[in-house]
Amino acid sequence: MCLVVPFTNYFKNTVHSEPVIQNYTTQVLCGLAYLHGRNTVHRDIKGANILVDPNGEIRLADFGMAKHITNCTSMLSFKGSPYWMAPEVAAIFKIGNSKNMSEIPDHLSSDAKSFIRQCLQQDPSL
């Protein structure tokens, strides 16, 4: 059995380099792409539902709010754990409803800045 810890505990009081963050972000996105490729949405992604094993491998957890999507399923409703959402999640909603994109820190690499811009893009077809 492999000991895993929630992402939030793993990052508590620790500063990680951009390549480490990029590695974890890539793993989370690959996990979500796997689910989406099987017509399933997690609907409760948060630090406590992302586990890290001792080798730095990511595991998505807690599929209690997951939903299998069919051709006639509507995804217009909001699901998640509102009482456990971090302030940055509320900020994402605010950014998503804003006409002006927030400033991205200058110290980030051009790849990181580009990734953040893509994540904040309101119209995904652009």
Look up 106 and say whether it is catalytic: no
Burial state string for 49-64 with b = 16 or more CB within 10 A and e = fewer than 16 = bbbbeeeeebebeeee
Q: Which of 44, 106, 111, 123 is catalytic?
A: 44
Which tokens hold the place of 51? 């586990």
Provide DSSP, 4-40: -EEHHHHHTT----HHHHHHHHHHHHHHHHHHHHTTE
Instruction: Point out the residues that are catalytic.
Output: 44
